[in-house]
Structure 1
Amino acid sequence: MLRAYKTEIYPTEEQRKKINQSIGICRWLYNQYLGKNQELYKQFQEGLISKKEAKLNANNFDKYINNEIKFLEEYKWINLCGSKARKKTICNAETAYNRFFKGQSKFPRFKKKNKSNVKLYFPKNNKTDWKIERHRLNIPTLKWVRLKEFGYIPTNSKVVNGTVSKKVDRYFVSVIIEEEYKVEDKPYTKGIGIDVGIKEFAIISNGVHKKNINKTAKIKQLEKRLKREQRKLSRKYESLKLRNKKEKGKATRQNIQKQLVKVQRIHQRLTNIRTDYINKTINELVKQKPSYITIEDLNVSGMMKNKHLSKAVAQQKFYEFRVKLEYKCKLNKIELRIVDRFYPSSKTCSVCGSYKKDLKLSDRVYKCNKCNSILDRDYNA
């Protein structure tokens, strides 16, 4: 089976320069592809061309760049990035545009400098590519790069491909390896049910309550610090505008970039804490070896439309929790049951099965009218 390993790397100054250049080229190609298709789609809306002509596929755009653009004197810098990384970026842009073309999503966003997650794709073409040692690995075009975590990626393993990415001022490598995964032979316990929410992250049928980590002092302190740093950044932008007016566009950004990195670091820290909490929660559930796990099919996009709850819902990362739980269940051969989103789990008594029609959202305790059982609303669900 294929398994991914992601870790931080310590590239040299020369390697950093090459990574930054390649990321910039891939970002430019992604935006150019979307720009071309945006023009074609406008022509289709005006009735100038047919719907088939309103989409330029990745292969034709790659040929257009290779045969017409990169030979021009002002676009020779395109060759500084590897051909495979360029082609993969265009394919990613095509996937995003196809979703819009089929009516599955809105028009893809153009990638902004230092604000978008652009990855460099490198396949394994030669024997020396993606060679892994305890403390370093050989990345195509970049050569040997030092790893932060020694021995994390298994040595002498078969690498299929990998990507290099940059977040804030740190560099990461993700490697896809072909390996065998052994499932521990433990006796299966009875199944468990999970009810995720905002008040508490997850209430499990075995009586365990997983708290909402966004209500902890650590997260609140970081969010307070983030607001403070964002205000500083906003003031720097405002002062830059005033100086540009006085000096007629001669003022430089000076310390704005440093302040931007500070803000991005706090954002990344918050993301890491929340992701780590989800990973640990899933690991605890899977380690119990239940015969099945039951979760509700939540309408997260619908919940996000509520302006009072959208921020709290986004912070809980329900979708990420479900995707990772599905993967872990598949890996450990545990059945995952998805309950229909319209099934009235909160209004149905878990003891006698009677249905309580007049249950309100404000009722946090479930009181059954038939068997007189009193349970916490989420635990009953």
Structure 2
Amino acid sequence: MQRAYKVELKPTKQQIQKINQSLGICRWLYNTYLAKNQSLYQDFKDGKLAKKKAFMSANDFDKYINNEVKILEEYKWINDCGSKARKKAICNAEVSFKKFFKGEAQFPKFKKKGKSKVGLYFPKNNKTDWKIERHRVNIPTLKWVRLKEFGYIKTHAKVINGTVTEQAGRYYVSIVCEVNETQNNKPKSEPLGIDLGLKDFAIMSNQIAKKNINKTLRVKKLEKKLKREQRRLSRKYECLKEQNKTKKGEATRQNIHKQVVKVQRLHQRLANIRTDYINKCVAEIVEQKPSSITIEDLNVKGMMKNRHLSKAVAQQKFYEFRVKLTDKCRQNNIELRVVDRWYSSSKLCSCCGNIKKDLKLSDRVYICNECGLIIDRDIQASINLREAKTYKIA
């Protein structure tokens, strides 16, 4: 079984320069590949090319770069990046281009410096590549790079490949290792139903609720600070427009770059807080050792259309929670059930089975008109999910 480990790096100034240079080359190759295929497709539409020649594959583009572009004196800087990283960037562009024509994604966008994610891919070709020690890792072309977290990756791990990325001025490495799959076969307790929401993040059928981390004082302070820093950035852009008229905007551009990094780091810090909370919630749920876990297939795309709730829904990261819960359940041999999104978990009475059709979103307490049951709306939904008979196995 393959597992990825992501750790923050602590590179030297020379290594930072090398990483940034290589990332720039990979970004240029990605954009050039898209531009080349756009040009070929336009020639086909104008009747200048046959349909077979209207698309250039990643292999053909790689040969074109090696045989026609790199030999030019002004493009010799392409060799400053590793060949495998260059080829992977071109292959990623080809995959995104093909997904567009299959109807699986939108047309790929050109990657912009400072805004788009680009990774340096390095497979393990030699014995010395990706050699891991407690406090450092040997990355191809970068040699030994120090880690910020010691002992997270096992020193005897069998590495397959790795990717170096940059985000908000920080550098990370994701290492894919081959590990032995071990399943937890400990005795299980009763089934568990989980209802996800906005008031509370997760409400379980055993009446344990996980609070909404976005309502805490810590997150609210960071969001307020982010709003303030974004306002400063906007004003700097307005100032740059005025200075460009007099050709005195160089100092402002440098200040803008510093402010952009500040905003990016705040975004990253908020994302890390939410991701860490999801990891802890998933761990606590699995530690209860339920025989099965039932969740609802939420229509997140439809929920995002409500302009009053879209931000709150996006901050909850429901999809990330489901992905991580699925992975943890697979590791611990727990059956994860997914109920259809149209299942009336909130309107159905868990006592008599009556459906209350006039239930509103503002009604936080469920009162049954038939049997007189009074229960919290979210706990009611989690119990109904636990008892659901129609579901799919994730």
* Structure 1 counterpart of 2:318: 318
Sort the Cα spacing of 1:25 and 1:287 in 2 relative to 1 into closer, same or farther, 3 A: same
In the TM superposition, what is the alpha-carbon distance from 1:120 to its structure 2 partner?
Answer: 0.7
* Structure 1 counterpart of 2:292: 292
* Structure 1 counterpart of 2:390: none
* Structure 1 counterpart of 2:30: 30
Please state if 1:108 is matched with 2:108: yes
* Structure 2 counterpart of 1:348: 348
CA distance in 1, matches of 2:344, 2:63: 54
Amino acid at match of 1:293: I
In the TM superposition, what is the alpha-carbon distance from 1:46 to its structure 2 partner?
Answer: 6.7
CA distance in 2, matches of 1:262, 1:231: 12
- Of all paired residues, the percent bearing the same amino acid is 70
Instruction: Answer whether contact 1:240 1:251 (CA < 8 A) is retained.
Output: no
Please state if 1:118 is matched with 2:118: yes
* Structure 1 counterpart of 2:10: 10
CA distance in 2, matches of 1:237, 1:254: 11
What are the residue-to-residue correspondences of 1:1-381 with 2, within 5 Å? 1-42=1-42, 54-247=54-247, 253-381=253-381
Instruction: Answer whether contact 1:25 1:78 (CA < 8 A) is retained.
Output: yes
In the TM superposition, what is the alpha-carbon distance from 1:79 to its structure 2 partner?
Answer: 1.0
Partner SS for 2:243: helix
Sort the Cα spacing of 1:52 and 1:194 in 2 relative to 1 into closer, same or farther, 3 A: farther
Sort the Cα spacing of 1:371 and 1:29 in 2 relative to 1 into closer, same or farther, 3 A: same
Sort the Cα spacing of 1:42 and 1:293 in 2 relative to 1 into closer, same or farther, 3 A: farther
How many residues are matched?
Answer: 381
CA distance in 1, matches of 2:250, 2:267: 31
CA distance in 2, matches of 1:282, 1:56: 44
CA distance in 1, matches of 2:46, 2:340: 42
In the TM superposition, what is the alpha-carbon distance from 1:41 to its structure 2 partner?
Answer: 4.7
Amino acid at match of 1:129: D
Sort the Cα spacing of 1:371 and 1:144 in 2 relative to 1 into closer, same or farther, 3 A: same
In the TM superposition, what is the alpha-carbon distance from 1:251 to its structure 2 partner?
Answer: 5.9
Q: TM-score, normalised by structure 2?
A: 0.91
Instruction: Answer whether contact 1:30 1:93 (CA < 8 A) is retained.
Output: yes
Q: Give per-residue Cα distances to partners, 1:353-373, cap 9 Å, x unaligned.
A: 222222222222222222211
Sort the Cα spacing of 1:265 and 1:211 in 2 relative to 1 into closer, same or farther, 3 A: same
Partner SS for 1:324: helix
Sort the Cα spacing of 1:237 and 1:54 in 2 relative to 1 into closer, same or farther, 3 A: same
Q: Which runs of 5+ in 1 are unaligned?
A: none
Partner SS for 1:255: helix
CA distance in 1, matches of 2:322, 2:52: 36
Q: Give per-residue Cα distances to partners, 1:153-179, cap 9 Å, x unaligned.
A: 101221111111111111111111111
Q: Give per-residue Cα distances to partners, 1:260-299, cap 9 Å, x unaligned.
A: 1111111110010000011111111111111111111111
CA distance in 1, matches of 2:28, 2:369: 64
Q: Which runs of 5+ in 2 are unaligned?
A: 382-394
